[in-house]
Amino acid sequence: MAHEGLRSVRRTQSVHCGQAQIEEEGMSVSEVTLKKVEPMTMASIREVVSGYEDMGAHFGEIFAHLGKNRVAPAGPAFAMYYDEGYKEKDIDVESAVPVGGAAPSGDRVKVRELPGVEQMACLTLQGSYEGLDEAYGRLIQWIEAHGYHIVGPSRELYIKGPGLLTRPSGYVTELQIPVEKA
């Protein structure tokens, strides 16, 4: 899931593709929807990390930078993955937090505008991150079955997660992949 950076979830125009929840083993995965996502300003750190567990430090650094500069987050933290396909290590990831208004960049934390996306295929996972593989599989299967192709990096929006909840069964993660008709 490569290409250019794209993200925002505030104002969405959903094309209805089903709203039913699928219950499985303590998690639920929504049906896929298509959304238009608006441009946004974000504070982020992009680098190749050795593993997914390294991303927590990114978010700590971003939130510390925002606090030091008295800038409030304007939405949930998220990650964008620039690699083609899934990788276990050496992952090219951009950890980000949306901000409202002007914010200064720092040494590692960069503030930039993320362009909007006309069509973002999305689904929501409620439950542990252990369900991400299956959720991504469903999302990619839907994209292929409906004649779309991927045109940018995938995103994970952490609507409820570590720091907000202590129980992984209550996590809520929205997966987003920018698409165009093939």
- Is it the case that residue 17 has pLDDT exceeding 50? no
Residue with tokens 């930039």: 112
Residue with tokens 């690699």: 83
Q: For position 37, what pLDDT does the model report?
A: 96
Q: For position 24, what pLDDT does the model report?
A: 40
Beta bridge partners of 47: 93
Quick one: pLDDT band at residue 13, thresholds 50, 70, 90?
Answer: very low
- Is it the case that residue 72 has pLDDT exceeding 70? yes
Higher pLDDT, 161 or 68: 68
Average pLDDT over residues 22-42: 82
DSSP state for residue 11 in the 8-state scheme? S
Domain covering 21-181 in this structure, CATH number: 3.20.80.10
Q: For position 161, what pLDDT does the model report?
A: 85
Average pLDDT over residues 41-53: 95
Average pLDDT over residues 81-105: 92
Quick one: pLDDT band at residue 166, thresholds 50, 70, 90?
Answer: low
Quick one: pLDDT band at residue 167, thresholds 50, 70, 90?
Answer: confident
Q: Residue 24 — φ and ψ, nearest 5°? A: -150, 125
Average pLDDT over residues 54-66: 93
Q: For position 151, what pLDDT does the model report?
A: 96
57 closest CA partner among 77, 84, 82, 85? 77
Beta bridge partners of 124: 174
